[in-house]
Structure 1
Amino acid sequence: MMKFLILFMFFLGNMIFVSKHKHLLIVLLSLEFIVLSIYMLMLVYFLMMSYNMYMLMLFLVFSVCEGALGLSILVSMIRTHGNDYFQSYNLLW
């Protein structure tokens, strides 16, 4: 039952990621939700198989780095353009 809840969280995060592409902050929050669901799935799997939790620590380190990188992109985008709309951001500029 727990696996189905975690998979539902994963697919819900993916659906939000695909549908809400107007603001960068919503995209970053949905990515963090996906990372959280993957972390929970790995935790349940490692506890069932009685593995070491070193891989989870490595996964958490990379997910924190991904979150910090996303927030730095968000801050730089707000400083240069004034908002986080993707429509106001021109890649050819």
Structure 2
Amino acid sequence: MNLFFFSYLFIFSCISLIFIRKHLLLCLLSLEFMVLSLLFLIMIYCLMFFSSNFYLYVYMMTFYVCEGVLGLSVLVSMIRFHGNDYMNSLFLW
């Protein structure tokens, strides 16, 4: 049951990332939902096959936190330099 829920969460976050591309913040939120669903899937995988070994889970969580911080830093620098978070303002033509 949980496996299907997190699989649907991943699929819907991919669909929202494809269709909602106007604001950088919305793209980052879609990416974070993808990361969250993948993190829960890894946790279920660790519980099923490794029983108590969560090194893979902690390792992936570290990378996901770094990805979130990098995305927020890009968002802040984009708002400071361009004044908004529209994806169209990144392109010069």
Unaligned runs of 5+ in 1: none
Q: 1:54 to 1:76 in 2, by over 3 A?
A: same
How far has the Cα of 1:90 moved from its partner?
1.8
Provide the TM-score with structure 1 as the length reference. 0.93
Give the structure with the larger helix fraction: 2
C-alpha distance in 2, partners of 1:60/1:16? 22
- The structural deviation recorded for 1:6 is 0.7
> Unaligned 5+ residue runs, structure 2?
none
TM-score (normalised: structure 2): 0.93
Counterpart of 2:24 in structure 1: which amino acid? L
Name the Cα RMSD after superposition: 1.2
2:31 corresponds in structure 1 to 31
Corresponding residue pairs, total: 92
Separation in 2, partners of 1:5, 1:57? 22
Counterpart CA distance in 1 for 2:47 and 2:91 is: 46
- Please give the alpha-carbon distance, in whole angstroms, between the structure 2 residues aligned to 1:52 and 1:10: 24
Percentage identity across aligned positions? 49
